[in-house]
Amino acid sequence: MEFIIFYLLIINAISFSMMGLDKHYAIKDMRRIPERHLFLIGYIGGAIGLLLGLKKFRHKKLKKKFSYGLPLLSIINISAVAVLLTIFYR
């Protein structure tokens, strides 16, 4: 159980940082982090970090695939963790 919690904390910290970094790159007119990379990290458990980054940095909030997709992906992540915890830690 500790491994799952540690993994989720790290992956969400990374995804939150990626949103902040992409916002910084956008302001400085630098090369950006591709959206598919942001969604990939969301698929592997970092959706909540991306969602928090979207709110904190006000970044990509007008894009429908982020404003609708990240909450949905967060629900899927939470459901997957709940299923894993019930399977492995009964």
Phi-psi region of 27 (alpha: psi -120 to 50; beta: other; left: phi over 0): alpha
Q: Which H or E run includes 23?
A: helix 2-27
**Mean pLDDT in each 10-residue stretch from start to end of the chain (90 residues)?**
88 96 95 94 94 90 85 93 85
Q: Which H or E run includes 57?
A: helix 47-57
Residue range(s) defining the domain that contains residue 30: 2-88
At 85 the pLDDT is: 85
**How many domains is the chain partitioned into structurally?**
1
At 1 the pLDDT is: 73
For residues 87 and 90, give the distance between their C-alpha atoms in angstroms, rounded to a whole number.
6
Of the candidates 6, 79, 1, 69, the residue with the CA atom closest to the CA atom of residue 40: 69
